[in-house]
Amino acid sequence: YSNNETVIDSFYVTLKNPKEYENVMNQIKNTIEAETDSEIEVDINKDLLRFEGVLSESILGVLYRIAGVIIVIIVVSSVFVIRNSFSISVSEKTKQYGMLASVGATKKQIKRSVLLEGLYIGIIAIPLGILLGIIAIIILLWIVNLLMGDMMEGAEFVYNVPGMAILISVAISGITIFLSCLIPAIKASKIPPIEAIRGTDDIKIKTRKIKTSKLTKKLFGIGGVIASKNLKRNRKKYRTTVVSLVVSISIFIALSSFLTYGQMMTGSYYTDLSYNIAVNGGNEALYEKIATWSGINSYSYSYQTSAEIDVNKYGTDFAKEELENKKQIHEEDFPEDVGKYEYNTLGLTIVMVNNDYFKSYVKSLGMNEKDYSNIAILGDDMMHYLGQGKSKVEHYFNVKAGESMEVTMDDEQKQIKISKITTERPMGYESTYTTGGYLFVSEDYAQITNRENLMRGGLYINAKNSIETENKLNDLKKEDAKFDEILVENIALIAEQQKRIIILISIFLYGFITVITLIGVTNIFNTITTNMILRSKEFAMLKSIGMTNKEFNRMIRLESIMYGTKSLMIGIPIGLALSYAIYKSVAIKTNYGFMIPWWPIIISIIFVFIIVGITMKYSLDKINKQNIVETIRNDNI
C-alpha cells in the first residue's frame, strides 16, 4: 500500500475480541482494496486463534457432538443408578408406605416423601460433585501443563471457574435426580395399603414365565434351576444390573479401539523412520560439514531428477489405468484438449543418494557395495485406496530384477538395468510415496553424467542426541547469515510430542471410562447386595428345608455366572460394533485393517466376573452370618 512517499508492505493486528476475526479481516480487505483498486491477501494466525479458544465451525461441531454424547451417556447411566437406588429404597420401605397409607397418608404425601428424599440427596451431592469436578480439572490441567509445557513455548493452561458450566451441571444433575425419583415416587404412591403391608406387590410372577429348560437342571442341578428362576422372576433388577455392565463393557472396548487407532495414526509415521533430524535448504558442502560433527551416527542426503517410461512397454495394468483416469480428468476439465494429448509415458523419480550412505544401504540389502556405482534399486510399491476402508498395494512397472528399462532423460534415451526391487527405502524415504515410484542410485551412478538439472534434497541425520544436534544447527544459523534459510526439524521431538498427546488423550478417555465404570459398579453393587438382603427370608427358608451350604453357595455362584455371561454376550458385540464404526471413520485416510480388540475384551471378561463375584461374596458372607429362625421370623425385611 503506498501513499505519497510512504510504502507499507504489510502490517499486523491483534484483536480485542478474537472471535470477531472474520469481520475484522473482511473490513481490512475491503477498505484497502477500495483504496488501492487491487486485490490483497489477509492471513490469520490459526495457531494463536486456537489457543485463544477460536475454533472452526467444523471443529466446534465435532466437540459439541462429542460433549453431547458424553453428557447423554453420563445422564442415562446416572439415571439408571439413582433410579435403581430409589426403586430399592421404595421396595425396602413398601411396608412402611403401606402403614402410612393405612393411617391416612395420601398418595400426594407419599410421592412427596420420595421426592424430598431425592432433594436432600441433591442438596448434598451436587455441591460435592461440583467441588470434586473443579479439583479434578485442576489436576488435569496440571498434568496437561506438565506434558505439553515445552510444546507451548512458555504458555500454559490456567483454570477459570466457568459459571455457565456450573449452572448447566446443576440443572442437568437436578433433572437427573428428578427423573430418577419420579417413577419410584409414582410407584410408591400407587401401591394399595393392604398389598404393601403384606409385601405381595414387589414380585409378581407367572409360572410359564419362569419355566426353565431340562438342560439347565441336567447341567447345573437344582441350584441352577433355582438360580435361573430367581433371575426370571426378578427381571427388572436383573435387567438393570446387566445394562450397567453392558454400558461399561461396550464403552471400554470402543474407546480402547479408538486409542489404538489414534496411536497408530500419530505414531506409525515417526516410528518407522531411521533418522531423528531433518535439514532442508542447504547444500552438499554444508551437509558434509555437519556430518563431521560428533554425535552423528549416520546421515544421508540426495538429489532428484525425473525420467519418462513407456507405459505400454513397461507399465502394469494399474499404471495404464491410472494414466487413463488422468486423461479423462484432464479432458473433462479442458474439453478443448480432447484428443490432443496421449498419455503413454509414466514419470519415474530418480534419487541420487550420497555415496557413503548408498554403500551401506546396498550392503543392508545383501548386495556387493563395491559395485555401488552401477546399482539401481527400484521401489515402486504404492498403497492404493479402493474406498470403503479398503486398500491394496499396487506396482507401476512390469519388470524384474536383472532386466533393463529404456528411460528418457533430458530428451536422451538410456538403458537402465534394475539391480533389485525392494520395499526397503533408504534414509529419508521410508514413508514417502510418489506416482511412478523411485529409482535409488548413488552419486556416481554411471548412467547419469549431467547433474546440472538435479534438484537438491534434504539432509537426514541419525544423531545420538537429537536436541543437542538441533541446538548446534540453530547456532550455525545464527552465526552465518547464509545459513539462515535452512530449515531444521527434530523428528524425535515431534514423535515424543505425539506420544504425549496420545498419553493426554488416554488420560481423558480412560478418565471418562472410569466415571462410567464407577457408576456401573455402584449400580451393580447396590442392586445385587440389596436384592440379596431382601431375599434373606427366602434363602433362610431354602436352608430350613434341607439345602446345604454347598448347594446354596453353588446356586449363588451360578447366579453370578448368569449375570456376567448375559452382560458379556450383549456388551462385547456392541463394543465390537462401535469399534468397527471407529475403524471405518479412520480408514477413510489411513487403513490399517480392522483389528479385533482382544485385550480389552479379555480385560472386560475378567473385570465383569471379578466385580460380580466380589459383590456376591460380600452379600453371601452377610447372609451366612444370619440365624435361619430369626431371619424367617423377621417381618421388617
More confident residue, 464 or 22: 464
What's the per-residue H, E or C state across 445-469? CCCCCCCCCCEEEEEEEEECCHHHH
Max mean pLDDT range (30-34, 192-196, 223-227, 258-262)? 30-34
Please check the confidence at residue 128 and state whether its pLDDT lies above 80: yes
Max mean pLDDT range (87-91, 257-261, 357-361, 455-459)? 357-361
Least confident window among 2-6, 261-265, 365-369: 2-6
pLDDT of residue 81: 63
Distance CA 314, CA 294 (A): 46
Confidence of residue 50 (pLDDT cuts 50, 70, 90): low
Please check the confidence at residue 30 and state whether its pLDDT lies above 60: yes
User: 471 and 412 in contact (C-beta within 8 Å)?
Assistant: no
What's the per-residue H, E or C state across 72-98? HHHHHHHHHHHHHHHHHHHHHCHHHHH
Please check the confidence at residue 364 and state whether its pLDDT lies above 70: yes
pLDDT of residue 424: 87
Residue type, position 301, single letter: Y
- HSE at residue 574, side-chain half, CA atoms within 13 A, is 16
pLDDT digits (tens, 9 = 90+) for 232-287: 666 666 676 777 778 778 878 887 777 777 666 555 555 567 788 888 877 888 88
- HSE at residue 382, side-chain half, CA atoms within 13 A, is 18
Query: For the residues 591-610, what does the mean pLDDT come to?
Result: 82
More confident residue, 70 or 320: 320
Write down the mean pLDDT value for the chain.
75
pLDDT digits (tens, 9 = 90+) for 616-628: 777 777 777 766 7
Confidence of residue 440 (pLDDT cuts 50, 70, 90): very high
Q: What is the DSSP letter of 172?
A: H
pLDDT of residue 382: 75
pLDDT of residue 573: 92
Please check the confidence at residue 317 and state whether its pLDDT lies above 80: yes
Among candidates 466, 632, 501, which has minimal Cα distance to 144?
501
Query: For the residues 583-594, what does the mean pLDDT come to?
Result: 62
Distance CA 28, CA 34 (A): 10
Query: For the residues 73-83, what does the mean pLDDT come to?
Result: 65
- Pairing mode, if any, of strands 438-442 and 345-353? parallel
Residue type, position 192, single letter: P
Least confident window among 206-210, 363-367, 513-517: 206-210
What angle, rounded to 10 degrees, do the helices at 57-92 and 163-190 form?
Answer: 30
pLDDT of residue 264: 66
Distance CA 434, CA 425 (A): 13
Residue type, position 375, single letter: I
What cell numbers appear for 542 in the block?
431354602
pLDDT digits (tens, 9 = 90+) for 352-361: 898 889 999 9
Distance CA 383, CA 478 (A): 41
Which of helix, strand or coil describes residue 517? helix
Neighbour-count burial of 183, counting CB atoms closer than 10 A to its CB (0-12 exposed, 13-18 middle, 19+ buried): middle
Distance CA 592, CA 586 (A): 9
Which of helix, strand or coil describes residue 315? strand
Strand (E) or helix (H) holding 567? helix 549-586
What cell numbers appear for 551 in the block?
448347594
Distance CA 24, CA 54 (A): 14
Alpha carbon distances (Å) from 440 to 227, 369, 609? 71, 14, 57
User: 108 and 189 in contact (C-beta within 8 Å)?
Assistant: yes
Among candidates 585, 498, 495, which has minimal Cα distance to 257?
585
pLDDT digits (tens, 9 = 90+) for 139-176: 888 887 777 766 665 667 777 777 887 888 888 788 87
pLDDT of residue 637: 43
User: 277 and 602 in contact (C-beta within 8 Å)?
Assistant: no
Query: For the residues 602-606, what does the mean pLDDT come to?
Result: 88
Distance CA 637, CA 625 (A): 16
What percent of the chain is predicted at pLDDT more than 70? Answer: 71
Distance CA 61, CA 57 (A): 6
Among candidates 268, 248, 264, which has minimal Cα distance to 583?
264
Query: For the residues 494-502, what does the mean pLDDT come to?
Result: 74
Least confident window among 303-317, 387-401, 421-435: 387-401
Please check the confidence at residue 222 and state whether its pLDDT lies above 50: yes
More confident residue, 26 or 96: 26
Query: For the residues 379-398, what does the mean pLDDT come to?
Result: 70
User: 582 and 594 in contact (C-beta within 8 Å)?
Assistant: no
Please check the confidence at residue 423 and state whether its pLDDT lies above 80: yes
Please check the confidence at residue 288 and state whether its pLDDT lies above 80: yes
pLDDT of residue 133: 82
Query: For the residues 9-22, what does the mean pLDDT come to?
Result: 76
Please check the confidence at residue 316 and state whether its pLDDT lies above 70: yes
What cell numbers appear for 443 in the block?
552419486
pLDDT of residue 2: 47
Least confident window among 72-81, 240-249, 336-345: 72-81
pLDDT of residue 358: 92
- Pairing mode, if any, of strands 438-442 and 377-379? antiparallel
What percent of the chain is predicted at pLDDT more than 90? Answer: 2
Query: For the residues 365-372, what does the mean pLDDT come to?
Result: 87
- Pairing mode, if any, of strands 455-463 and 277-280? antiparallel
What cell numbers appear for 84 in the block?
435403581
User: 180 and 115 in contact (C-beta within 8 Å)?
Assistant: no
More confident residue, 78 or 190: 190
Please check the confidence at residue 460 and state whether its pLDDT lies above 60: yes
